[in-house]
């Protein structure tokens, strides 16, 4: 098994720096709205029997005037999968269950129903294989075509700088992944989703890290623009109700289908950090 320690550290450093810049950008928006809300950071340590260095992470959480609830988490964990779970993971098996994983995960639920909620995650994992995955998707309770187009255009540009096939492939993957079968509807208006960008050598690692960086930069560029565009809009009680009902669908997807939620729970992650994706308030009519 290749030792990917140096590469894991490089990816971790990027995810942490992206976290810092995103949180600063979101706090700046709160200041523009007249709020002094700020992120509270809670470190956590993972536990695994017989593992002297299982890793951990930091949960970042802010509740403000614009961002009703936003979590920006980072983690770096290492250890062994349970045998039955190892059989479901790329490059792992019950005989070789070892892994490392480092990443950033973000979910923002907004106070104003005209402002889209959003999810973003990028990660680097190693088993007997090593790969990057991630993406971002927009989840508006009240969709606006301009917002959808601008979001997709920014990620299309990020993909185009690396591979002309990426955007179409990863948009399709997001459309298929962020779908709620029992509701027969999509979770939002999509974005991109990618996984198993394999790192067979150092050159492939650097290439895929560069793409993953550009995904993070695309998110940091476009989403604050959408927030500022809509955060001052008036809304009705009926529109707030629409948002709360839509949040119920979001919660259903994350609890029933989301692979990231399952990965965190199966690897002994921090429960509060894993479930920070759930909205602060939702209804089921």
Residues acting as catalytic residues: 119
Residues 136 and 190: their CA atoms lie apart, in Å, by 8
Helix/strand number for the chain, H first, E second: 8, 9
φ and ψ of 118, to 5 deg: -155, 155
Identify whether the C-beta of residue 29 lies closer than 8 Å to the C-beta of residue 66: yes
Please, is 266 exposed, middle or buried when counting C-beta atoms within 10 Å of its C-beta (0-12, 13-18, 19+)? middle
Which residues, including other chains, have CB under 8 Å from residue 276's CB and lie 6 or more apart?
Answer: 59, 61, 69, 71, 73, 107
> In sequence order, what are the beta bridge partners of 42?
59
Find residue 123's DSSP bridge partners.
Answer: 103, 133
CA angle centred on 41, ends 12 and 63, rounded to 5°: 120
* Helices 202-230 and 5-32: angle between axes, nearest 10 degrees: 10
Cα dihedral: 132, 222, 161, 148 (round 10):
90
Our measurement of the distance from residue 191's CA atom to the centroid of its chain's CA atoms, rounded to an integer in Å, reads 12
Map residue 70 onto helix, strand or coil.
strand
Q: Hey, is 163 helix, strand or coil?
A: coil
Under a CB-based contact definition with an 8 Å cutoff, are residues 37 and 27 in contact?
yes
């Amino acid at each position: 098994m290749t030792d990917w320690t140096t590469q894991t550290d490089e990816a971790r450093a990027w995810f942490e720096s992206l976290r810092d810049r995103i949180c600063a950008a979101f706090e700046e928006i709160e200041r523009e709205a007249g709020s002094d809300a700020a992120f509270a950071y809670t470190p956590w340590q993972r536990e695994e029997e017989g593992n002297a260095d299982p890793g951990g992470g930091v949960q970042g959480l802010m509740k403000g005037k614009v961002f009703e609830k936003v979590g920006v988490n980072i983690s770096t964990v290492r250890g062994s999968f349970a045998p039955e779970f190892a059989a479901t993971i790329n490059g792992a098996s019950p005989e070789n269950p070892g892994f490392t994983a480092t990443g950033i995960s973000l979910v923002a639920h907004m106070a104003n129903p005209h402002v889209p909620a959003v999810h973003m995650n990028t990660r680097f994992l190693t088993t007997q294989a090593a790969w990057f995955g991630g993406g971002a998707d927009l989840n508006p309770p009240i969709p606006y075509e301009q917002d959808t187009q601008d979001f997709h255009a920014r990620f299309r540009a990020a993909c185009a700088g690396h591979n002309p096939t990426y955007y179409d492939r990863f948009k399709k993957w997001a459309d298929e992944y962020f779908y709620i079968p029992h509701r027969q509807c999509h979770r939002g208006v999509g974005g991109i989703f990618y996984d198993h960008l394999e790192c067979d050598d150092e050159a492939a690692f650097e290439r895929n890290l560069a793409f993953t960086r550009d995904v993070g930069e695309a998110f940091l560029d476009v989403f604050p623009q959408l927030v500022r565009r809509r955060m001052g809009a008036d809304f009705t009680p009926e529109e707030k109700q629409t948002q709360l009902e839509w949040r119920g669908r979001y919660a259903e997807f994350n609890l029933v289908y989301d692979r990231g939620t399952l990965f965190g729970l199966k690897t002994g992650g921090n429960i509060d950090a894993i479930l920070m994706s759930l909205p602060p308030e939702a209804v089921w009519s």
